[in-house]
Amino acid sequence: MLDIKRIRENLQEVNQALQKRDPNLSVDAIIEIDASRRQLLQEEEALRSQRNELTKEIGQLKKEGQNTDQIQQDTKAIADKIKSLDDRKSLLEKDQQVLLLDLPNTPHPETPVGSDESDNVELYTWGDEFKKRCSDTVLPHWEVGANLDILDPERGVKVAQSRFTLMKGPGAQLERALINFMLDLHTGQGYTEVLPPFLVNADSMIGTGQLPKFESDMFRCRDDALYLTPTAEVPVTNLYREEILNDADLPIHMTAYTPCFRREAGAPGKDTRGLIRQHQFNKVELVKLVRPEDSESEHLKLREDAERVLQQLELPYRVIELCTGDIGFSAARCYDLEVWMPSQKVYREISSCSNFLDFQARRASIKYRNKETGKPAFVHTINGSGLAVGRTVAAILENYQLNDQEVVIPQVLLPYFKNGIKSLRVQNECTVR
């Protein structure tokens, strides 16, 4: 959430920043409401002062034995006016809050300006030499997965609906191995592992920016005011909602595995096959709560920590910085990691590493006590996928494909497989090579 004081004092600057995202965005309506609310507040304060003076006068008149009926009636009339003004002010505050909650973050000054993903900026690529590992006739991951009998979308649809996929045998084991590998790697990088609830309440969804803007994308429980978590970012960030941390507590680095649930599945007809866009998928998340002065360096370090997963798996990828027209609702600055998918000869997103500055912290009221001033201040929040597990499985099935009947298991994952298994082979067999 944007700071209303910042909006009030820097109206033109905030409008210009928001219009880098979308030319139609503006805070003018918020300022109009704020001006009306502040006018009512001034009137209310003047009436309270007047009522206080009359109350003192009533006390003095009673001491003198004089009649106070009329002045008491005047005091009662003022009290009624104060109540009316307060009710109107409360309605305006609710309207202002609704508009503020629906307003995205302002982009970081260094975020590239652009209208959509075509304006994103490629920073660099990594692992180009590993592209040579593949032949020119790599099968899409869903085809080789079917050949190996480890992916079964038909049964996923049978027990749920479209965009749910069953993974079985070595496929399920590969997914589990990746989750454990990622958690082991990140805890070794200094992150504390947490296992949060997989259901979250509305306050948590508001805190990280999923509600109210994206409610239609979420799965909600019918009989409880709970949502299936769309990403571990939601429960993990909200662990500290409405708390004031000590300066010595920061930075806080956390990692968590959760299944994720989202109705949103991209453009119609796009990525309808395979593991790229699913309503349910596994993900390992990285979340940081940091001091404002450290957020830029901590953001870059988090991106490097996510990159380390791809590097150890020897999966080619590139890093892009998202432009103002493509960054997420809550983000001020965002880097995407995109893994190479040889069957299509394109890079596909596998992690978004975002710096939200104090946007989420204001919504969730996460503060720390600044040791310099002794006063509470908002933390900065940062998060990124480390990584999306299903997409990592897809990348392995394509980048480690020997042929249409065999996929090699990455070296770093071998300790997570039993009995010396080194590859996945057709007919649901895993054999030592």
Structural tokens at position 217: 């994308």
Residue 352 appears among annotated catalytic residues: yes
- What residues form DSSP beta bridges with 201? 226
Give the separation between CA 22 and CA 224, rounded to whole angstroms. Answer: 36
| Per annotation, catalytic residue among 330, 391, 406, 423 | 391
| 125, 317 Cβ separation under 8 angstroms | yes
Residue 308 appears among annotated catalytic residues: no
| Per annotation, catalytic residue among 204, 343, 351, 352 | 352
| 351, 306 Cβ separation under 8 angstroms | yes
Give the separation between CA 36 and CA 99, rounded to whole angstroms. Answer: 15
| Per annotation, catalytic residue among 21, 51, 163, 262 | 262
Q: How far apart, in Å, are the Cα atoms of 378 and each of 86, 175, 246, 291, 361?
A: 29, 37, 12, 8, 6
Q: Which residues contact 32 (CB under 8 A, 6 or more apart)?
A: none
| 376, 368 Cβ separation under 8 angstroms | yes
Residue 38 appears among annotated catalytic residues: no
Residue 349 appears among annotated catalytic residues: yes
Residue 291 appears among annotated catalytic residues: no
| Per annotation, catalytic residue among 57, 143, 296, 349 | 349
Q: Which residues form the catalytic set? A: 262, 277, 349, 352, 391
